[in-house]
Structure 1
């Protein structure tokens, strides 16, 4: 079997009229499409996909993690969302962690029990269906596809098997073993091997029947508290039962006739908006796609945007600066044509952990609704702690907290950490009485690759006329701060020209190239559904009055887009 995971195939964009689902697993996309065909809307189908991915990609997602969604209402044009991120245990203060011997210079292992935050995904699933769903299907009916996959079993896909093995290996290197619910006879499932998870099937059944209390109270809640307590953590049943999702109004910025919508803090969505605001000062199309000039400008802009995001963003309930002031503060110095290395290195340097262990998916329906959804455990399998008879692992999102006192993202009891998750929507920049016209639902996973990925695939379409599949296929750039060497590293995929690489090195960039095979996971995995072919400069849009959906799915994952 070829384990190099070469990228030699070609995909056409999926085109359809009524509804579309794009996710990182074909079985999950099929579950979402089935919900649409049974009368559900985009929100119903998105939650069905979320649950199905919890079964088919338990290394990257599940009920033990967090979730965010943005929903576009096809009738009103209103865009709302849900922040489904959980908080730290109330007893988990900076003083508690310092008493355990941890400091900013010597933080806990990312797999340590102290990094478990309250799982927000199950509440987000429930609330998404309740607030945005069609109410034509019960919650049980929405989850039934995932329950069947968990009960009957499914053959593990190739990239998922690789992530599964990497996650188990990372845990074992840290001296930890993954719970038996997520292995077969204590072994990692191989590609094509049928995996069943009856414990997760039961958890999903209970969630479908009873809603949020089935997870945040009773059997599952007690199992979560028990496994955390056994490993020295301080989460209580009260921490779980008091959890609530937050309904959010996304923030946005305009860029050359389009409006990109992202979740507000504690999400890092603002980083993508900052990045676009910098790049609007440059003639990107004239520079040429993935040219040395284009990549150089992109790299310098990413340094600024990520540094600002990590300096200023955190749980808004614990940050005294209003969001509007943050926007002004971050935007004010970024309009200049010249971007300096010195400015990028000021403040807190982004030394947080890289990772791509997340699932993003999007859905559109025949009523004009769209749901952009993201779900994650943070690092693969999170902490690796599996509550007894529950079938999922607990996230390690608390690894994103800072242990520096007075930092915006400093750990505190009952606080949400700075969050990498950021689903996106794109509308036309229409003003006045016109409601926002939906152009796309899009997202790219990958921790601090996410804002970089959002902007790159958007520019691929808007500046360079690529269709959604081409925009995802194109080689990407990942700018990463290496805390050990105190350097910014520019990671480039195979497909970027050697001449470009050499020119970037001459300009002082530290470049890693070519990144190939399964290592391409660091560049994220994205999905895009567009309404119409607005990205095609050769088409007169007046000649295309029919609402056609165009979709792409990332070749760096196992998935696909499906429509009808």
Structure 2
């Protein structure tokens, strides 16, 4: 244990001292002198008989604002520190990684309600020690959600009760994951979330920003404004936000369970009550999250798993297939070559995504071809190292023959957890837009998602609105495996940016040997629209060198420079499992309010 000196200050024990010395040495700049040497004397001149210290190990990659978290018993990484703490509490109390993910996600519904909640959808990838399993907890369109119902519209409404037209699937995903892999009792997972909702949660900078941005929208719906604009004011960072109705719903969920309390019970009745929404209690009762087969490809000796349609996971894997044919390490990270090829690979993959992605129960999607290495070799020929393609001009490799596709967006949370038994969870959840539909379901305190607003009303569109159909999703959790064992759980929020940030993390970890925090913090790019725009520019964080931006413009990339740490780039989290030592290495995105904690 550490001991205290006469003044009560902690004196580090030898292990702590040596670790601190090593860390300081790793970050030091060499001056050519040892400590204590006289100016101008070479190393060792002032300490005869004492050998020179060993040189500090070479550091790969950039310095970061925070080190990666490390542990060997368990780890959780989420976009909000209170959620990370709740997940770690579950692990320390003997729970599994699934327990930790549910406990953390319940807290996110309180602390990050603009991005996630009980009224949204979720997708799980779980490595259980034998296989990678995928759990689809996205809800379908209501039975009454027909194109005829919306005949007066050219496009579906994106706010208000009519945009709340799909069943929230997340909570039933929690149930099914817990039934398969839970270690703690169900009701034990919600204590932190209930307390934070009832007693109040400190408003973080992300929530504060979005409350200010969305104030006009929230004021349109009195029940929503009563919760999020208490006394008519916009809460500021550090204020206490109390959500009593949400606390009551969480207590009902904890004590009565996901089916009796939520989908077959009183919460469903409240969520189906807003006038104008096509949802009914029967839609909730008929829904069940389902286990599906994950999709995968290989990348430089690793197996990359992602989520199948109705999500864009195949586009993320297509990007990796395209990039595998290039010598990325020779370009160097952060160079014009790096960003240019990343952008071009995304354009090629998104052309196929936008042509095909919808509910696979309604359209036969040619996944085997789209994910083949031969197809990637053929499509890679579209990429010119010196000249950029216009994103809207890139044609899909296989045509569906439907209408033009819309550009997806959305607000999301990604989290990951690994436990002492090797169970690894990669989980993503969302209400789609910031604050979803902006409608609270009755007295539930739960915001309903507006995911169904992405359906098309065009009868020739592959993602056309049909009752019981799941819409196009951008949500994609990911797991990278080495020799069959989980190596990396990773993901991010950010709509269009999710496959791009996943590619950034994989290339920076595999090709450049970064640690997870370096991979997360290094400047990112986004090919496509940022929030509030519909452009298809290549957006870059302001930390990218001006010379690189000029070179990209010279190659024809329509570049836009954002802030140094921009929300548009998503909030990524990751946990890496070292195959040699078994240590867990976690990272969380400084662009959000998150943290990674291990023990």
State the TM-score, normalized to the length of structure 2.
0.83
Question: Equivalents in 2 of 1:80, 1:70: separation in Å?
Answer: 6
Q: Which has the larger radius of gyration?
A: 2
> What is the match of residue 81 of structure 1?
134
Match of 1:125 in 2: 174
**Aligned counterpart for 1:154 among listed residues 180, 201, 207:** 201
Query: Which residue pairs with 2:103 in the alignment?
Result: 48
Residue in 2 that maps onto 1:319: 363
2:269 aligned with 1:214: no
Contact 2:517–2:588 at 8 Å: present in 1 too? yes
Q: Given that residues 64 and 517 in structure 2 are in contact (C-alpha distance below 8 angstroms), is that contact kept between their aligned partners in structure 1?
A: no
Give 3-state SS (helix, strand or coil) of 1:95's partner: coil
Could you say which residue in structure 2 is the equivalent of 1:424? Answer: 478
1:326-377 C-alpha deviation (Å, 9 max, x unpaired): 545993674543427376245765532434x211110011111111111110
Contact 1:179 1:384 in 2 (8 A): no
The equivalent of 2:589 in structure 1 is 554
Residue deviations 1:171-200 (CA, integer Å, cap 9, x gap): 55xx55534233322333211111221211
Q: Give the root-mean-square deviation of aligned CA atoms.
A: 2.3
Alignment correspondent of 1:307: 351
Does 1 or 2 have the higher relative contact order (CA < 8 Å, sep 6+)?
1
1:486-497 matches, within 5 Å, as 488-497=536-545
Instruction: Report the CA distance between 1:290 and its aligned residue.
Output: 1.9
Cα distance in 1 for partners of 2:533, 2:128 equals 47
CA distance in 2, matches of 1:442, 1:54: 20
TM-score normalised by length of structure 1:
0.88
**How far is the alpha carbon of 1:309 from its aligned partner?**
1.0
When residues 130 and 464 of structure 1 are mapped into structure 2, their CA distance, relative to the original with a 3 A threshold, is same
Distance 2:160 2:351 in 1: 26
Q: Secondary structure at the match of 1:70?
A: strand
Tell me: CA distance 1:109–1:234, structure 2 relative to 1, closer, same or farther (3 Å).
closer
Distance 1:446 1:471 in 2: 17
Cα distance in 2 for partners of 1:274, 1:115 equals: 31
| Structure 1, unaligned runs of 5 or more | 1-7, 431-435, 535-544
2:574 maps to 1:528 = yes
Q: What is the rounded CA distance, in whole Å, between the counterparts of 1:125 and 1:182 in structure 2?
A: 26
Which residue, 319, 329, 340 being the options, matches 1:285? 329
**Structure 1 counterpart SS, 2:288:** coil
* Inter-partner Cα distance in structure 2 for 1:511 and 1:216: 46
Give 1:234 deviation, angstroms.
Answer: 1.8
Q: Given the superposition, is the C-alpha separation of residues 469 and 484 from structure 1 closer, same or farther in structure 2, using an over 3 Å criterion? A: closer
CA contact (8 A) 1:351 1:483 kept: no
Number of residue-to-residue matches in the alignment: 523
For residues 405 and 460 of structure 2, the distance between their equivalents in structure 1, rounded to whole angstroms, comes to 17
Relative to 1, partners in 2 of residues 1:259 and 1:164: Cα closer, same or farther, differing over 3 Å? farther
Partners in 1 of 2:505 and 2:373 — Cα distance?
27
Distance 2:592 2:438 in 1: 22
The answer as to 2:505 corresponding to 1:470 is no
Structure 1 residue 80, shift from structure 2 partner:
0.6
Are the structure 2 counterparts of residues 226 and 170 from structure 1 closer, same or farther at C-alpha, using a change threshold of 3 Å? closer
Where does residue 365 of structure 1 map in the other structure?
419
CA contact (8 A) 2:156 2:455 kept: no
Aligned partner of 2:11 in structure 1 is none
- Provide the C-alpha distance between the structure 1 equivalents of 2:520 and 2:121, rounded to a whole number of angstroms: 25
User: d(CA) in 2 for partners of 1:447 and 1:247?
Assistant: 23
Which residue in 2 is equivalent to 1:102?
Answer: 153
Contact 2:64/2:518 (<8 A) preserved: no
Equivalent residues of 2:479, 2:490 under 8 A apart = yes
Q: Which residue of 1 aligns with 2:90?
A: 35
Rounded Cα–Cα distance in structure 1 between residues aligned with 2:531 and 2:147: 22
- Work out whether residues 179 and 385 of structure 1, in 8 Å CA contact, stay in contact via their aligned partners in 2: no
Once the two structures are overlaid, the 10-residue window that deviates more, 445-454 or 480-489, is: 480-489
